Amino acid sequence: MVKAKLSLQILIFIAAFQFEGCSNINKKQDASNIKNGITNKIPNKVIPFFQHWNLILGDGSNVGQAVDYRHNDFFFTSTEANQDWVVFKTPNAGNTHGTSNNTRTELAQLKKWSPYTESKLSASLKVMNVSSSGDARVASTFSVVVGQIHSADGHENEPLKIFYKKFPGHKKGSLFWNYEINTKGVDNSKRWDYSYPIWGYDFSVVGTGENSYPKEPEEGIALGEEFSYEVEVKNGIMYLTFSSEGHETKTFTKNLVDSDFKTSSEIPKQVKELFFPIGQDGVERHNAYAEEGLFFKLGSYNQTNGKSPQTNRVWCSGAITHDGDLQKQYADGNYAEVWFKSASIEISDASISNAGYFEANDYLSQKVVYPNEVIPFMDKFKILLGDGTRVENLVEYENKRFFYTVIDGTRRWVVYKTPNSGITSPNSSNTRTELHEKREWTPEKGGRLTGTCKVMHVSKTGDARVAASFSTVVGQIHSGEGHENEPLKIFYKKFPGHSRGSVFWNYEINTAGSDNSGRWDFSTPVWGYDMSVVGANKSQYPPEPLDGIALGEEFSYEVNVFEGIMYLTFKSKNHKTKIFTKNLISSEYTGKSDIPNQVKQMFGPLGQEGTEKVNAYAGELNYFKQGAYNQTNGKTPETNMVWHTGAKTYGGNIDKQYKNGSYAEVWFRDASIGPGITPK
């Protein structure tokens, strides 16, 4: 085999400036840079291999081959003790590359190669800064990736990520490397990393609280302390060598073409403890990365971001980002900075163009992905948004304030977000960003709705004595005729200060007679409490439910109405599956003696003690609803101790409500709609 040696132990010198080439250097800026130890040497005059890489910056841009190029904010050189270093710098928040949550200033190879050929990357470097903020319980917080092998094909996973991580207040940090499985099948959301410690801890060692850190590693690496790595791949095997003065040299091998993780029984305990709680529990294809093109990456891939930890407890750090303001992040240490002294790369003549990877990923994070691209049934629905806007056609539609898509680190979700106060439907006190089925059906004819969701936020304010406080409805059946009542509302409710909330479902009677003022709901718990469990006073809450669902914890429901019977199934990992049935065409509540005690206690004081039609909802046209129907509002509790929650609404200003936690937010990753089916 003939190798194309692209560089030999190269010294990297790159000057700092913004997008201008070397011919447009501002002399005043030059003087300032030199004063601060920054040199203005022309990169390609010193490093002949830049034509073999694309450079991705911390603003998400691919600047291509970094020939005659430098950038004062992200990519420049500095001199220390007569030694020049290349600086890769990137903030906690900015535009990202591909589908990643994280910013990077990183070189990526223009060619890809088979793991069966011979390839090699070497580097000597030191990490100068990792984020000063973040949630210590999140594994990726306070870390940066300084070298990678990335797949250009398939799931585009990463058989190698070399991490440096240091907790605030510690002098020494940890160096470790992660192997990400090449997930079997088409669903890559189950992927996970297995982490190997080099000096210090592995990836899985986290804090016990948001600002509580583990003990400092004894054999760790300090900021500014130099170390080297060598990554060699040949005949399907990856060989790793790590060295640093005063530390034991460490070597590792990993087979890239024959998986160690083919079955669930082979998944390591570390992975089960770290990734299984967030649903990432896949297995790897038997031949791992054998059939895919791989390529090297090198630089500063910041692993700390500002996304909420409840979104993903492994990858979403909750760090300070100053709303993406670059200079504010740099000013208070919310960035990653890595200095490289030398680097070299060797790849096979058999390597081929990696253009497809860049075509697929350049500016992908800025591309609009519409909700109907995530959940295709949007053509079957219309929507009412939290500001009262009604939209009939949801194909290629989004609204960034209420209805849009996000990536949580593993997959895309549709977001439904709505404030405590806004414009809503005529007969409701509550705002909603909620789908409304266009088709209508009778209970006898039936219908079926499924949803897999996680509630990300409920109002932080409200009166704890009021049953509807701190809750949102995530799915409904609504009648379109008669009293237009609701035979099903699926609720999520969490009291402030609790880690876990409750999921329950309510059945609203179809009131007998023409006077609907006596209507009431009967509430059935799924996990946690039913609706009737309230606080002893305005700000005193009941004990936290032991079997509850946390914010950000995924659960699913199936609503199947078949021949007049409603069959409900609720599932969530690590929770018991719950199944319920309810007759929608023959009532249980035709007499006063049939009214449950729960109803008498909750609705009796309001004078709502009606009875139901004998045939309940028989013959009435119904339709499904799904999304976020916020049950918390600003109305005075004394006027209705079930539905008027007295929450903060900031005069109806939606931006202020969002900023201060007066809103509901629900994410769906999967949903379906269709005719009712014979129950299993």
Return the structure tokens found at 384: 């009412």
Number of residues assigned to the chain: 680
Separation between Cα atoms, residue 665 and residue 659, nearest integer Å: 13
CATH level 3 topology of 376-674: Jelly Rolls (2.60.120)
Would you state the pLDDT for residue 16? 34
Separation between Cα atoms, residue 406 and residue 667, nearest integer Å: 9
CATH number listed for the domain at residues 3-366: 2.60.120.200
How far is residue 671 from each of residues 372, 443, 474, 478, 557, measured CA to CA in Å? 11, 21, 12, 18, 9
Answer for the pair 421, 652: CB distance below 8 angstroms, yes or no: yes
CA-wise closest residue to 605 among 660, 575, 642, 633: 642
**Would you call 212 helix, strand, or coil by DSSP?**
strand
Would you state the pLDDT for residue 327? 97
> CA torsion sign, 76 to 80 to 85 to 90?
negative
- State the Rg of the chain over Cα: 29
Separation between Cα atoms, residue 471 and residue 629, nearest integer Å: 9
Separation between Cα atoms, residue 290 and residue 667, nearest integer Å: 36
Question: What stretches of 187-292 show up as alpha helix (H) in DSSP?
Answer: 269-274
Would you state the pLDDT for residue 99? 80
Return the structure tokens found at 185: 């099948």
Q: Tell me phi and psi for residue 612, to 5 degrees.
A: -105, 155
Would you state the pLDDT for residue 22? 36
Query: Could you tell me where the beta strands, DSSP code E, fall in 388-470?
Result: 390-391, 403-407, 412-419, 432-437, 447-457
Show me where the domains of the chain are located. 3-366, 376-674
Would you state the pLDDT for residue 69? 85
Domains 3-366 and 376-674 share a fold: yes
Residues of the chain scoring pLDDT < 70: 1-39, 42-49, 427
DSSP per position, 583-647: ESSS-S-SSGGGS-HHHHHHHGGGT----B-TTTTTT--EEEEEEEEE----S-GGG-TTT----
Phi/psi region, residue 413 (left: phi>0; alpha: psi -120 to 50; beta: rest), is beta
Q: Any idea what DSSP says for residue 93?
A: S
**Count of H-run helices and E-run strands, the chain:** 8, 35
DSSP per position, 551-591: TT--EEEEEEEETTEEEEEEE-TTS--EEEEEESSS-S-SS
Q: Tell me phi and psi for residue 250, to 5 degrees.
A: -120, 140
Would you state the pLDDT for residue 48? 65
Return the structure tokens found at 17: 């400036």
Tokens 């008498």 found at: 600
How far is residue 535 from each of residues 289, 444, 520, measured CA to CA in Å? 55, 40, 20
Query: Could you tell me where the beta strands, DSSP code E, fall in 92-154?
Result: 104-109, 111-112, 119-129, 143-151
